[in-house]
Copies of this chain bind each other. A is one copy, B any other.
Amino acid sequence: MSVTIKDVAKKANVAPSTVSRVLSDSPRISETTKKRVRKIMEEMGYHLNINGRVLVRQSTQTIGIVMKDSATHSFENPFFSEILKGISEACHTRDYNLNLTTGESEETIFQDVVKMVQGKRVDGIIVLYSKKDDKVVPYLMEHNFPFVVVGKPLFGANKFMYVDNDNVEAAREAANYLIEFGHKDLGFIGGDLKFEVAKDRLQGFKLAAEEHGIDIQPESVQSIDLSDSVENGKEVVKKMMNTPRRPTGLVITDDYNGLTVMAALQEIQIKVPEDVSIIGFNNTMIAKLANPPLTTVDTNPYQLGYEASDGLINILHTPEMVKRGVIIPTSIVERDSCKPYNPGIKELDAN
């Protein structure tokens, strides 16, 4: 159908091998024939068929992306979009392609991964989460397949590369930020504790409280996640705010959830930041555009993605030179959702 290397070879009166070498700009071909062959390629409208190359090179030059099951709506979360953007750009500069899993459940995603690996569809994989009892990472390790995880390494930490934030430290800082503002009743609204991020951030939060001799009411530690309905999420918040020692400062592990919290607070007439200060995570555009704009921990999702991608490609090229772990720094970006604690408020509103 379309013009192949052989067609070009015939027309140029050279061997296919020569054409192939011209294609890869081999120094073993003289400039004159290169020019001639290139001209003929142009004339005939030749274009490399990548699949032939893939077969012999045993390399697809594409990397696979594994997201959490879309039941948990990762697509909805701008955090993932940002990571994806970072990955995408790193791939582009290194001339790699991107392949997305399309599975919806944990199981179908796993099958996608198997297909990618065994079918040799991709050269390496980026796993966009870290979760206990997940089959993906163990599978990849077992099969010795190059991969990097964005998140905390759960086991065999020294056996594969990961890119992560220091989430316990980040959460500690977030809590400290509120504490420094004088807040003594702190609340934590995290995500699904099956994921490591959520655990780490909770740990950091507790750590900060402990260090400052603040004790946390059990009711003030809750989790909502994207698989919950918004209504559910709001319920959780309302319940928390309806406890005797309701928090005046909230650490929320995701900007997206931050919006849910704000919506809930709005409904029960609690004002941010006047009545309660909240600090989010990720610094996605959501935080910037929220009303009021959200103070948040910038986890640099773009860079998370970029480093993961770049690191994976490095591993692919020089497997011996493995960067074991990359920790992307976090920083608090101050906006308008936090305020020094105003002792008057509490009594006034208490019921």
Residues on A lying within 8 angstroms of B by beta carbon are 1-2, 47-52, 54-55, 58, 60, 62, 70, 75-76, 78, 80-82, 84-85, 88-89, 91-92, 96-100, 102-104, 108, 114-115, 118-121, 230, 256, 259-260, 262-263, 266, 284-286, 288-293
Determine which residue in A82, A96, A98, A114 has the highest number of CB atoms from chain B within 10 A of its CB, and name it.
A98
**Closest approach, in angstroms, between the C-beta of A46 and any C-beta of chain B?**
9
| Contact between B89 and A81, CB atoms less than 8 A apart | no
Report the separation of the CA atoms of residues A119 and B4 in the bound assembly, to the nearest whole angstrom: 11
Closest B residue to A54 by CB, please name it.
Answer: B51
| Contact between B119 and A49, CB atoms less than 8 A apart | yes
Contact for A78 among B70, B78, B97, B262, CB less than 8 A:
B78
Report the separation of the CA atoms of residues A230 and B335 in the bound assembly, to the nearest whole angstrom: 14
**Closest approach, in angstroms, between the C-beta of A160 and any C-beta of chain B?**
21
| Contact between B51 and A51, CB atoms less than 8 A apart | yes
| Contact between A76 and B70, CB atoms less than 8 A apart | no
| Contact between A289 and B97, CB atoms less than 8 A apart | no
Contacts of A256 in B (CB 8 A): 285, 289
| Contact between A76 and B285, CB atoms less than 8 A apart | yes
Report the separation of the CA atoms of residues A302 and B96 in the bound assembly, to the nearest whole angstrom: 28
Given A50-B119, A76-B78, A259-B289, A97 contacting B102 (CB threshold 8 A): yes
Given A75-B82, A92-B108, A118-B47, A263 contacting B285 (CB threshold 8 A): no
Report the separation of the CA atoms of residues A290 and B51 in the bound assembly, to the nearest whole angstrom: 47
Contacts of A54 in B (CB 8 A): 51, 54
Report the separation of the CA atoms of residues A243 and B291 in the bound assembly, to the nearest whole angstrom: 24
Contacts of A80 in B (CB 8 A): 81
Contacts of A84 in B (CB 8 A): 75
Closest B residue to A80 by CB, please name it.
Answer: B81
**Closest approach, in angstroms, between the C-beta of A296 and any C-beta of chain B?**
15
**Closest approach, in angstroms, between the C-beta of A146 and any C-beta of chain B?**
15
| Contact between A81 and B75, CB atoms less than 8 A apart | yes
| Contact between A102 and B88, CB atoms less than 8 A apart | yes
**Closest approach, in angstroms, between the C-beta of A2 and any C-beta of chain B?**
8
Instruction: Give the 8 A-B CB pairs with smallest separation, nearest first.
Output: A47-B118, A259-B289, A92-B102, A50-B119, A75-B85, A98-B100, A75-B81, A291-B291
**Closest approach, in angstroms, between the C-beta of A92 and any C-beta of chain B?**
4
| Contact between A102 and B108, CB atoms less than 8 A apart | no
Contacts of A88 in B (CB 8 A): 70, 75, 100, 102
| Contact between A262 and B291, CB atoms less than 8 A apart | yes
Instruction: Taking A51-B120, A286-B286 as given, write out 19 further A-B residue pairs in contact, using a Cβ cutoff of 8 Å, ordered by the A residue number.
Output: A47-B119, A49-B119, A49-B120, A50-B119, A51-B60, A54-B54, A62-B99, A75-B84, A75-B85, A78-B78, A81-B81, A92-B104, A96-B102, A256-B289, A259-B289, A259-B291, A262-B289, A262-B291, A263-B293
| Contact between B50 and A52, CB atoms less than 8 A apart | no
Contacts of A293 in B (CB 8 A): 263
